[in-house]
Structure 1
Amino acid sequence: MQINKQIYSWAMYDWANSAYATTVMAGFFPLFFKSYFSSETDVITSTAQLGVANSLSSMIIVLLAPFLGAIADVGGYKKRFLFLFTYLGILMSGSLALVQQGEWQLAAFVYVLGNIGFMGSNIFNDSLLTTVAKERSFDFVSGLGFSLGYLGGGLLFALNVFMVHRPEFFGLDDMNEAVKLSFVSVALWWALFSLPLLLFVKEERPQQKRNLSATVLAGYRQLLNTFKKIRHLRGLLLFLAAYWLYIDGVDTIIRMAVDYAMAIGFEPNALVLALLLVQFIGFPATLLFSKLAQLYDTKKALFVAIGTYLFITLWASMMREAYEFFLLAAMVGMVQGGIQALSRSYYARMIPQNQAAEFFGFFNFLGRFATIFGPLLIGFVAVTTESSRLGIASVSLFFVAGGILLYFVNEEKIAKEVRSTLE
C-alpha cells in the first residue's frame, strides 16, 4: 500500500513516545529507582513500591479514559487531548533529572504523572488510526507505528546506554548524571518527533459547533448512552475481556522485567543490553507479524503471540543464567510489537469510526485497568511468598485466561452487532 504523509506522520508518534517507554519505563527508571531513588530500601520492598507506582498511574487513566474519549469525539478534540497528555509526559520525563538520591516518594510521584502523560496520549493516538487509514490497511498501519516505535526508542536508548557507560565522553561526572541526562533526552526526543502528527494529521471537525461546557455535557451524555448500549454488545465485551487479561501480562512484563531480573541477582549491564535486543528485534518482527496477519488471519497471529508469552513467563520463573535472559528478551522482541499492533487493528475493525476516541477510551480503560493488577499481583506474591520467581510466574494466569476468551471471539459478527446496536 502507498504510505501517505498522514500515515507516516501518525506512525512517527510511536517513534516519538516510545523513547519514554524504553528509556524511562522499561530501562533506566526501574534500575535507577532501586540503586538511587530508593537506595536505602531492600529489593523486595522496592519492587512493591514500583508496582504500586505503576498501578496508581494506570488507575488514574482508567478513571479518565472513557470520559475524555467521549468529549474528544463530540468536540473534535482528539489532537488537543493527545498533546495535552504528551506535554505532561515530556515535562515529567525532564523533571526526573531534578530528583535527588533517596527521594523515592518524589521520584514515584513524578513517574506516575509521566506515565499518565504517556498512556493518556496513546488513547488519542490510537483513535486517530481510523482517521488516517482505511480498514483493509489497519493491520499494516498499526504495525508500522509500533515497528517505528521500536526502532526510534531503540536508537535513543542505545545512545543513552553508551552515555551511561562512557559519561566522561559526554563531559559528565558519573553514571548518575548520565542517567539524569537520559531522562532529559527522552523529553526532547518526544517533543521533536511529535511535530509531524501535530502539523500533518488532519482531524475531522464535528458539524455542530459547541462551547467547552456544552461539549463536556454532550460527551457525558454520549458516554452514558454508550455505557447503556455496550452492556448488550456481548461479542465486543468478550474481546475486551480477553484483551484485558492478556495485555495485562504483556504490560506487566514490560514494566517489571528489569526489576524482577535485578531481584534474582542479574547484573544491570546485562539487562540493559537485553532491552536493546528487544528493541531492534521488535522493529522487523512487528512488521512481519502485521504482514502475516494480512496474508492469513489476525486472530491466529494473536494466538501465536499469546502462546509465546505464556512460554516466556514460565521459563522466566525458572531461569538461572544470564544467557537465558537474552534468549527470553529475543523472544519478547519477536512478539511484543505484534500483539500490541494487532490488538489495536483488530479492535479498530469492530468499532464505529465516529466514536473511535470513546471506544479506544474503553480499550485503553481496560488495558490500563488490567495493569493495575499485574504489578500488584507480582508485588503481593513476591512479598507473601518471599519469592520473586513465584511473583513473575503468577503472570502466566493472564495469558491462559485471555487466550481462552479470545478463542470465542468473531470479529465480523461483533462489527455487525456494534453497528446495529449503536445506530
Structure 2
Amino acid sequence: MGTLHIEGYGDNGAKQRERRHGLDDKKRIRAWVMYDWANSAFATTVMAAVMPIYFISVAGGTDGSWSFTQTAAAILVALLSPLLGAIADHTGRKTTFLRVFSLIGACASFGLAFVGPGDMWLASVLVVIGMVGFGTGNTFYDALLNDISSPARRERISARGYAMGYLGGGMLLAVNLGLILGWETVGLPDQSAASQISFMSVGIWWIVFSLPLFRQVKDQPMAREDTIANHLRTGLKRLKETSVRIRKYPELLKFMLAYWFMFDGINTIIVMAASYGTTIGIESKDLITALLITQFVGFPSSLLFGKLADRLGSKKMLQFSLVVYLVIVVLGYFMTSALHFYLLAAMVGMVQGGAQATSRAVFSKMIPEGRTAEFNGFLSLTSRFFSFGGPLVFGLVKLISDSSRSALLAVAFFFVAGILLLSLVNFAKGEREARETV
C-alpha cells in the first residue's frame, strides 16, 4: 500500500481538513461526552455496587458463579470487539454499531428488574448480555473520538468524557442506594423491589442520555452494500491484516505493551478492592461509601488530569498516575480502618479516570486513519487477554503466603513495569508513524 505524508496538524491544510470533517464541533463533542454519562450508570449500579449483592442475596448465586459470569462476558467482548470493529470501519457505521449495542445493554439492564429469588441463571445471562452491550459498545465509542476531535484536543475531550462518566454514574448510584436503603420511606415492599427499580433506571438512563450522540454524530457509510456473511468474511480478513499491519507501528506496539501492564494493574485494583476490604474487616456500607467517594472525586480530578496532560505532556501524567497507584498499593498494605479505605478511594479517584482517558487519547493519535474501531477492538482483545495476570498474581501470592496484604503488595509489579515501559515510548514519533501511513 502506498504512503501519504500529511503535514503537521498545526498547518492551514490540516485545519481546513478538520473543519471539513466536523472536528471539534461543540455540539458533537458535548453529545459524545454525554454518552459516558449515559453508560457509566451500568458500570456503577450493575457491575460494581447493586447487582453483585443482589445476585448472591436474592438470585441465589455465589461468589464463584458471579466470577464465572464476569469471565464469560469478558471473553465474549474480547472476541466480538475486534471483529465488529473491523466491520464498522469497513462499512463506515461506527455510530450504528454503538446504537445497537447500547440498546442491547439497556434492554438487559431493564430485564434485570424481572430477576427474582432463585433466578441465578436468568441473572447471569442478562448480566453477560448487558456487559457485552457495555464493553463492545465502548469499542465504537472510543473510536468515535477520532471522528469528533482533532489530535491536539483529545486529551482534554477524552478526560471530559471520563469526568462526566464519574459524575453521571455516581449520581444515579447515589439515588439508587438511597432508594434501596430507604425502601420503607417510599412505600416499597422490600429492598429487592428497590433494587429491581434501580436496574430499570439504568436502562432508561442509558437510552435517554445516549440520544444526543445518536442525533449529532452521524455515520459516514461507505458505498459497500453487501451480505452479512460477506461483511463477516471481510471483517475477519481485516482483523488478520491488523495483526500484521500493527508491526509497522513500533511506537504503538511499545505503548500497547505498557498499556497492558497499566490496564492489568488498574483492573486488579478495581476488581479486588471490595474483596480485599472485606477480608481485612471493612463493612459493606463502608465499601459502598468508598465507591461513591471514588466517583465524585473522579469527576473534577479527570478534568484537571486532562488539562495537565495537555500542558505537561501525556507521558509524564501517565507515569505520575502509576506512581500514585504504587503509593496506593503500599498504603493499602498497612490499611486497618474504614477511614484509611476512604482515603485510598479518594486517591484512586484522583488518577483512575485521568489515566484511562489519557491512554485513550494517546492511543487514538497512534492508530491509522480509517481503522479506528478496528484498532480499538484489537486493543480491547489483547488487553482483556492479558488482564488475567494481575488477579492471578494476587491469587497465587495469597495462596503461598496466606496473606491478602502481601497479595496486594505484589500488584505493585505491574505499575513498576508500566512506568519503565512507558519511558521507552516516543509519543511524537508514534503520531508521525500513524499519519505517514494511511
Q: Does 1:340 align with 2:362?
A: no
CA change 1:101–1:159 in 2 (3 A) is: same
SS in 2 for 1:313: helix
User: Which one-letter code corresponds to 1:219 in the other structure?
Assistant: G
CA change 1:201–1:337 in 2 (3 A) is: same
The equivalent residue for 2:261 is 245
Which of 25, 32, 55 does residue 10 from structure 1 map onto? 32
Q: Does 1:75 align with 2:91?
A: yes
The equivalent residue for 1:281 is 297
Distance 1:110 1:324 in 2: 35
CA-to-aligned-CA distance 1:335-362 (integer Å, 9 cap, x gap)? 1110110000011111122111111112
Deviation of 1:368 after TM superposition, in Å, equals 2.4
Distance 1:312 1:53 in 2: 28
8 A Cα contact 2:96 2:219, kept in partner: no
C-alpha RMSD of matched pairs (Å): 2.3
Deviation of 1:385 after TM superposition, in Å, equals 5.3
Deviation of 1:282 after TM superposition, in Å, equals 0.8
CA change 1:329–1:71 in 2 (3 A) is: same
Distance 2:264 2:41 in 1: 21
CA change 1:260–1:87 in 2 (3 A) is: farther
User: Which one-letter code corresponds to 2:429 in the other structure?
Assistant: K
CA change 1:113–1:315 in 2 (3 A) is: farther
CA-to-aligned-CA distance 1:77-119 (integer Å, 9 cap, x gap)? 2112212221221122223333334554543333222211111
Deviation of 1:391 after TM superposition, in Å, equals 4.1
CA change 1:222–1:58 in 2 (3 A) is: same
User: Which one-letter code corresponds to 2:91 in the other structure?
Assistant: G
The equivalent residue for 2:112 is 96
Distance 2:180 2:299 in 1: 24
Distance 2:65 2:387 in 1: 15
Distance 1:386 1:88 in 2: 42
1:347-358 to 2 correspondence within 5 Å? 347-358=363-374
Count how many residue pairs are aligned between Structure 1 and Structure 2: 416
CA change 1:258–1:249 in 2 (3 A) is: same
Q: Which moved more, 1:341-350 or 1:78-87?
A: 78-87
CA change 1:85–1:290 in 2 (3 A) is: same
8 A Cα contact 1:19 1:152, kept in partner: yes
8 A Cα contact 1:19 1:189, kept in partner: yes
Q: Based on CA coordinates, which of the two structures has the bigger radius of gyration? A: 2
SS in 2 for 1:354: coil
Distance 1:238 1:99 in 2: 45
Q: Percent identity?
A: 42
Distance 1:250 1:122 in 2: 18
The equivalent residue for 1:254 is 270
Q: Which moved more, 1:56-65 or 1:328-337?
A: 56-65
Q: What TM-score do the two structures reach when normalised by structure 2?
A: 0.88
The equivalent residue for 1:24 is 46
Q: Does 1:108 align with 2:120?
A: no
Which of 198, 202, 207 does residue 186 from structure 1 map onto? 202
User: Which one-letter code corresponds to 2:291 in the other structure?
Assistant: L
Distance 2:114 2:411 in 1: 34
8 A Cα contact 1:51 1:379, kept in partner: no
Distance 2:28 2:380 in 1: 23
8 A Cα contact 1:310 1:396, kept in partner: yes
CA change 1:187–1:360 in 2 (3 A) is: same
The equivalent residue for 2:139 is 123
Distance 1:96 1:140 in 2: 35
Deviation of 1:332 after TM superposition, in Å, equals 0.8
8 A Cα contact 2:103 2:133, kept in partner: yes
Which runs of 5 or more structure 1 residues have no equivalent in the other structure? none
8 A Cα contact 1:37 1:102, kept in partner: yes
Q: Does 1:63 align with 2:79?
A: yes
8 A Cα contact 2:85 2:374, kept in partner: yes
